[in-house]
Amino acid sequence: MLLRRANLVVRESLRCSDVSLRTSTSVSRTKLQYTPLSSSPLYRQSLRSLSQFESEMSQKNSTNGTKPTAWSGPAQAAFDFRSDVVTSPTQSMLQAIQNTTLHDDVFCEDTTTNSLESHMADLTSHESALFVLSGTMGNQLALRTHLTQPPHSVLCDYRAHILEWEAGGVASLCGALVKGVVPKNRVYLTLEDVKKNVVIGDEIHGCPTRVISLENTLGGTIMPLEEVKRISAFARENNIKMHLDGARIWEAVVAGAGSLPDYTREFDSASLCFSKGLGAPIGSILVGKEKFIKHARWVRKSIGGGLRQSGVVTAAARVAVDETFGKGPNGEGGLLKQSHVTAKKIANIWTKMGGKLTQPTETNMVWFDLDDVGIADDEFVELGKKHGLRFLGPRLVVHYQISSEAVQRLEKVLDEVHERKKAGGVRKEGNVGEKAYGTHEKANP
């Protein structure tokens, strides 16, 4: 069965990651004794749970003649805190794909794709929209369309995805300088940060700022709407374009920071991701003025992003928006809000045990201060595997498919961490806050 094959792939990848982590070292801290994941009772229990799930689904579906597949449930994603990119597409997305139109999007003839683009333009209060294959593509198309003649530069947060996680695309595609700014408040950029670093005028030694790119949310932190408005007003006064990397803007909206159009109308362009927290298998949307989107479509074609029968991916994206985010501008009726509740629950469990957070839990991310309890990132990852959970380090991303059982297992992991501290775990000295802030750069995806 497809589900069994998928589970075998997951198990094999976990086994391989065991081997690689086994060779890692932590010079300044006491290492946990390596325990193969396959010998963990709880992990074996999780595999039995998956097998039981297959059996139950097989019995359930035998009456209607269907067989369980990889689309039948979140499976390993329910125990995976590494990122919201691990969310699994759903049965309703598969059904939408089966019933989609199969026309050519390069000719702008696919009605499913056209409908999604029209819906997203309306939802964000922009004139037009363009489906793209990824958030990176959306950002790069936007910047390439805005930036027409060097010398030109883009100003952004120093942790920004366009600077740290897009393979230098702004340099290679646009020939532009990207200036990363460290926020004075250590959380998000303010107008004062922008004014201090922006380059305006024609002084020959400078590289003029043509675009200000803001990311919201960033590391799970919300950029307040009022601050966005201040920066936007300044940009318009100085003929500077505004771009939003809104891969996770959905999270800010459902947290109550402002409606989707409240945020997006402050920008000349915005890229929003369907495949992170929303769970679609692929894709993002780029929104802006009609003339802007027309040119972006041209650029998309030039880098191989034109799609033929695009309905097979845009159908699932539409379901992701309607079901996971919600059908209104504030995420009405969607599923994301519960992940915020779960994230705050996890943060409370940790702090009640005496643990510290390196930043507040505002949306779906929880940042543990592992230095305070004397445990290295790779040791924490190993503890998670012992309980059948997947971590990347101190950042836990609580997507909407995380199960209640995963939270229960996580609580046992955190108990072990604090018992280790009581038993004399090594504490690393230093400025924990600054180090934790820096880890945002390595945990953006």
> What is the signed CA dihedral for 286, 292, 294, 300, rounded to 10 degrees?
-50
pLDDT of residue 43: 42
Q: Is 296 helix (H, G, I), strand (E, B) or coil?
A: helix
Residues in the chain: 445
Q: Please give the C-alpha separations between residue 55 and each of 3, 61, 150, in angstroms, as whole numbers.
A: 11, 10, 61
pLDDT of residue 52: 54
Residues 249/190, Cβ–Cβ less than 8 Å: no
Helix (H) or strand (E) holding 318: helix 311-319
**Cβ count within 10 A of residue 192:** 13
Helix axes 135-146, 290-302, angle to 10 degrees: 110
* Phi, psi values for residue 65, rounded to 5°: 80, 10
Strands 209-215 and 241-246 come out as parallel
In this structure, is the dihedral angle defined by the CA atoms of residues 438, 442, 443 and 445, taken in order, positive or negative?
A: positive
What does the block give as tokens for 294? 């027309």
In this structure, is the dihedral angle defined by the CA atoms of residues 211, 216, 219 and 224, taken in order, positive or negative?
A: positive
pLDDT of residue 190: 98
What does the block give as tokens for 341? 């509740």
Closest among 197, 207, 287, 210 to 242, alpha carbons compared: 210
pLDDT of residue 438: 34
Contacts of 371 (CB under 8 A, 6+ apart): 427, 428, 430, 432, 435, 436
Q: Please give the C-alpha separations between residue 275 and each of 123, 134, 411, in angstroms, as whole numbers.
A: 18, 8, 28
pLDDT, mean of each 10-residue run, the chain (445 residues): 42 40 35 41 48 49 59 86 95 96 96 98 98 97 96 97 96 95 96 98 94 97 98 98 98 97 98 96 97 97 95 97 95 94 97 94 97 93 96 96 96 92 57 37 54
pLDDT of residue 61: 45
pTM passes above 0.95? no
Q: Please give the C-alpha separations between residue 265 and each of 210, 320, 407, in angstroms, as whole numbers.
A: 18, 22, 37
- Taken in order of first residue, the domains within the chain and their CATH numbers are 91-325 (3.40.640.10), 335-422 (3.90.1150.10)
Count Cα neighbours of 10 within 13 Å in the Cβ-side half-sphere. 23
- 326 DSSP 8-state letter: B
Strand positions, DSSP E, 143-208? 153-157, 177-181
